[in-house]
Structure 1
Amino acid sequence: MPYRLSRAGVCLTPLRRSVRWMEIGLLAGVASLLSASCAPEEPGRPEGAIVLGTLLPFSGSESAIGRNLEQAMLLAVQDLNAAGGLDGRPFHLRSRDSHSSVERGFDQLLHLLYTDEVHYLIGPEENALASKSVQEVKLADAFHMLPGYAAPPIARSEAMGGWMRLAPSSFDVGCTLARIAFDDGIPTVNSLAAGDDYNTSVSSEFTTHFAALGGRILPSVTFRSGQQTYASKIESAFDAKAGRTLLAAYPRTGSTIVTEWTVSGRPGNWFLGPALRTEVLLANIPTGSLDGHLGVSPSLSLRSECRTTTTAEGERAVDCATGNAAAFLEHFSSGWDGDAPLPAAHFYYDGVVLLAMGLVYAQAKTGEVPTSGHELHEIIRELNDPAHEAASWRDLPAAMAKLRAGIPLRYVGAAAEYEFDKYGANRHHFMQLWTVEGDAFVDLAPVPVSCFPG
C-alpha cells in the first residue's frame, strides 16, 4: 500500500489516521511538510514484522521499573521468534517512554497509534494514562494488553477496541487484605493512600470489604504525591489508633513516608500495597524499619501448584509450589546477565505471548491476521477456555506448531494459568503474603482471594 504524507509530516496509510492527527491538533509548519520523508520501516524493524507497541516509564518518577519490564517483553519476542514467529514473520517490540507522565505519555501513545501504526499495545504502568488512552484505543480499534498492577479495571464490553487485564485488580488486593485483618482479629483499620485512581481504589476496596466482614473503619487519609514532607498526613493517619493502616502508594513516595514515619517513632502497624514490593522502596528506607509488617502482591505460583486445606480449627491454609516462577527467574537471568525479573515482569512476558498466540491461532483459522482489537480480544478469551489443552511458556515451539495447525490452547504462563471473564480480566485465586526482613522481602504463605466467610 503506498504511503501518504499527513499534514504533520508523518507517514500514514489509512486516511482516518491522518484525520485523527488533525483532530488532535498535532500539525507542523510548511517547513516540516516540505522536508519530511516517508520510510516504510522504522530503524531496526525487520521486514514484514508484526509490531507490538509498548509504553513504559523509562524516565520520571517510576523509571526504576521501565527497563526491567521491557526486558521481559524483549525476552518473550526472542522466544516467540525462535518458535517460528507468525508463519515466519518475526515479532518486533516498539518501545516508547511514558516519562511517568499522563500528558507526555499520552503524546507517545498517539505516536504509537498514528506514527508507528501499531495495532497491538502493551502497558502503560500508569493508571491515569491507561484510563486516558481508552478513547484513542476505541477510535483506532486497537488491542490493549494491560499487565500492570495499576491498570484500570475492565468491567464493560466494547464494540471497538479490546482490553485484557492480567494482574489482580484493586478488588482482589483490597478484599485479600481485609480478610487477613479480619481473620487475625484486628478490630479497626484505616489507610494512608495516594490520591491517584489506583491507590484510592485499593484503599476503598480494603475498607469496604473489612466493614462488610464486620470490622470497624476509622478515618483514612489521602495525600498528593510529590510533596517534600508527609509528616502531617502520617500524624493524622496514626492518630486514629487503627489496628492496621494500609499504605497505598508508589515506591518513591512510599519510601519518603516510611522514612518520616520511622523518624516519628514508628507508631502503629502497616499493611503494604502491592506496588511497594520493589527494591526502590527498600533502598530508600532505614534498614529494618519495616521488619514484620505485612504486604500482598500477585501470587506467581500457578493455580495447579497450590493446594488449599482446612485446619482443625476450621481455618483455610494454602500451600503452593514455586517451580514455575523459579524457572522463569532462571530463564530471565540467563538472558539478561544475571538480572532478576520484577514480579510484574512475569505478567509483561505473558502479555506478549498471549497476544502472539491469539494472532497465530486467528491466522490458522481464518487465513488473516486480525487488526481489530475487539476481534483479537474475543479470540484470546476463547483460547484460554479451561477445557482446552494447556501450553506452557517453557515449550513455545510446540505450542506455536499446534496453534498453526488450528488447535486451540490455553496458556500456562510465567505468572499464571490464564482464564478470562467476559470483559477480559484474568481470574485470580491466590495472592502472595510477604514481609520485610532487613533489606529483603520474604515470602510467607499464599492466601486465597476471598472476601466472605466460608
Structure 2
Amino acid sequence: MTDITRRHILGTGIAFASTVAMPAILRAQTGPIKLGTLTPLTGSGGSYGPAMADTVKKAADDINKAGGILGRQLLIISEDDQTSPEAGLRAARKLIDIDKVSAIIGTWASAVTTAVVPVCSQSGVFLSTVSGAEPITLLPHQGFLIRTQPTTTLQGTKFGEFALGANAKTVAFVSPQTPFTESQYAALTKTVTAAGGKTTSLIYDDKKTTLRTEVDQVLRGKPDAIVMGGYTNDTAVLVRDLYRANYRGSLFGFGYSVNKQLVDALPADVSEGIYTLSPSPAEGSNAYKNVARLLGVDSPDTYSCQVYDHLNLIAMAMAVGKGDTGTIIKDNVRKVSQGGGERVETAVDGLKLIADGKKVDYDGASGPCDFTDIGDITDAKFRYEQVKGGKIILLKIA
C-alpha cells in the first residue's frame, strides 16, 4: 500500500469518525440541562429538605412546559445530604463528577455548605444555599456562590433586639457547636451589652438525651431570657429540661428548630410561650403564591421559597448568558436580579422577556434577590412568632 493510499484511507477514516461523532456532540448540546438539589431529606433538617427538593422539581416542570431554556429541558437530580457534612460532600461529588450538573441548589445546614463550597468552586459548579453561617461567603469560592439566607450576624442582632424587647437584661445563649455559633453569640452580645445588659454562653453536646446538668449550670446565672441555638431534636431536649427545672424566663429559638414538629412532640404546657425568629418569605407576592401552588399548601416555609428563587435565578442567568455552565450562571445571576429592567416574579415570565432582548429584575418568593460582591443577600425581613396553645402564632413581620 502506497503512502497516498494510506493517507487517503486515514483521511477517510477521520472523516467517517467525525461524522459518527458529530451526532453525539449535537445530542450533548441539545440534551437536558442538569441541575442538582442537595437538601436534607433525612437528619436534623429532614422536615424541610423534601419540600425544598419538590419545589425545585415542580418549578422546573413549569419552565419545561413553557419551552425550557434555550430550547432545552431542565433535568433536576436530587440527593440527600442527610444533614451531615460527610454525606453532603459525597453527594456533591456524585452530582458533579457523575451527573455533570451545572449548579447545586439548596444546601441547608451550614456545616454541609462549608464542606461543599470548595469542591463546587474548584469544579466550576454554581452553588446556591440557604445556610446562614457568617464564614461561608468568606470562603474562597471565586464567585460560584450566592445565599438567600440572612447571615447569622444579622440573625444574632435580631435575637438581641427581640430579647431586649421582652425586657431581658441578662441573656444566655445555649447551643451546640456549629459553624454559626460564634458569630451569632458575638452579634447577640454586641446588641445586648450596648443596651446595658449582659450575656453568657454555654455549648452542649447535641447527641445527649438529657441536658439537665447544662440547664442547672445556665440557671445559676439567673438569665431573664435564653436564646436556643440548636436544631429541632436537641432543642426539644433542652426545652423539656428547662421546664423540669421550673425556668420561667423567656425562651427564644430559631424558626427552623421551634417548629410544628417540636410543638407536636412536646406537651402544650412545655412549649407554651416560646418565641421564634426566622427569615420571612415575601408573603402576598405572586412568587410566594406560586410556591404555595406548587406545594399545595397555604404557607410554604422560607427554605422552599428560597430554593424556588434559586432555580428561577439560575434559569434566567443561563438564558442571558446563552449557555448552561456554572461560569455562565456566575457571570449573569446578578444581571437578572439587580441589574435593572422589568420586574418579574417567575422565570417563565422572565425567560419570555429575555428572549425578546429585554432586561429583567427578579423579585422572588423570599424577597428581593440582591447580592453583595461575596454573595450575601443584602436585606431581609424577619418573621416573629410565639407558641400559644400548641400553635405557632404570628406576632409581626419586620
- State TM-score, norm by structure 1: 0.76
Aligned partner letter, 2:367: A
Aligned partner letter, 1:217: K
Query: Are 1:407 and 2:361 an aligned pair?
Result: no
Aligned partner letter, 2:157: C
Q: 2:43 and 2:170 mapped to 1: Cα distance? A: 37
Equivalent of residue 207 in structure 1, options 189, 196, 199: 189
**Which consecutive unaligned segments of at least 5 residues does structure 2 have?**
1-23
Query: Are 1:99 and 2:66 an aligned pair?
Result: no
Q: How does 1:438-449 map to 2 (within 5 A)?
A: 438-447=389-398
Query: What residue number does 2:308 align with?
Result: 349
Equivalent of residue 175 in structure 2, options 193, 199, 202: 193
Q: How far off is 1:196 after superposition?
A: 1.1
Query: What residue number does 2:147 align with?
Result: 165
CA contact (8 A) 2:102 2:324 kept: no
2:395 aligned counterpart, secondary structure: strand
Q: 1:345 and 1:214 mapped to 2: Cα distance? A: 36
Task: Number of aligned residue pairs: give it.
Answer: 372
Q: How does 1:172-187 map to 2 (within 5 A)?
A: 172-187=154-169
- The root-mean-square deviation of aligned C-alpha atoms, in Å, is 2.5
Mark the CA change 1:156 to 1:55 in structure 2 (over 3 Å): closer, same or farther: closer
1:323-344 deviation digits (Å, cap 9, x = unpaired): 557624541343xxx5863221
Q: 2:104 and 2:307 mapped to 1: Cα distance? A: 11
Equivalent of residue 245 in structure 2, options 256, 264, 271: 264
Which has the larger helix fraction?
2
CA contact (8 A) 2:39 2:107 kept: yes
Aligned partner letter, 1:223: Y
CA contact (8 A) 1:149 1:275 kept: no
Q: How far off is 1:164 after superposition?
A: 0.2
Aligned partner letter, 1:406: G
Q: 2:98 and 2:180 mapped to 1: Cα distance? A: 30
Query: Are 1:390 and 2:324 an aligned pair?
Result: no
Q: 2:39 and 2:292 mapped to 1: Cα distance? A: 24
Query: Are 1:273 and 2:254 an aligned pair?
Result: yes
1:7-63 deviation digits (Å, cap 9, x = unpaired): xxxxxxxxxxxxxxxxxxxxxxxxxxxxxxxxx9xxxx9x71111112122233432
CA contact (8 A) 1:203 1:246 kept: no
Equivalent of residue 226 in structure 2, options 245, 256, 268: 245
CA contact (8 A) 1:130 1:152 kept: no
Equivalent of residue 434 in structure 1, options 379, 382, 385: 385
Query: Are 1:331 and 2:293 an aligned pair?
Result: yes
Q: How far off is 1:249 after superposition?
A: 0.7
Q: How far off is 1:163 after superposition?
A: 0.2
Aligned partner letter, 2:162: I
Query: What residue number does 1:293 align with?
Result: 274
2:55 aligned counterpart, secondary structure: helix
- State TM-score, norm by structure 2: 0.86
Query: What residue number does 2:63 align with?
Result: 80
1:215-264 deviation digits (Å, cap 9, x = unpaired): 33232111121112111112222221122110011111111211222222
Mark the CA change 1:429 to 1:100 in structure 2 (over 3 Å): closer, same or farther: closer
Query: Are 1:65 and 2:48 an aligned pair?
Result: yes
Q: 1:50 and 1:170 mapped to 2: Cα distance? A: 33
Q: How far off is 1:418 after superposition?
A: 1.3
Q: How far off is 1:152 after superposition?
A: 5.3
2:171 aligned counterpart, secondary structure: strand
Query: What residue number does 1:108 align with?
Result: 91
Aligned partner letter, 1:343: T
Q: How far off is 1:99 after superposition?
A: 2.1
Q: 2:280 and 2:292 mapped to 1: Cα distance? A: 18
CA contact (8 A) 2:117 2:141 kept: no
Q: How does 1:77-156 map to 2 (within 5 A)?
A: 77-149=60-132, 153-155=136-138
Q: 1:286 and 1:51 mapped to 2: Cα distance? A: 45
Q: How far off is 1:415 after superposition?
A: 1.5
Give the share of equivalent positions with the same residue, in percent.
21
2:368 aligned counterpart, secondary structure: coil
Mark the CA change 1:133 to 1:273 in structure 2 (over 3 Å): closer, same or farther: same
Runs of 4+ in 1 over 6 A off after TM superposition: none
1:60 aligned counterpart, secondary structure: coil
Q: 1:58 and 1:397 mapped to 2: Cα distance? A: 27
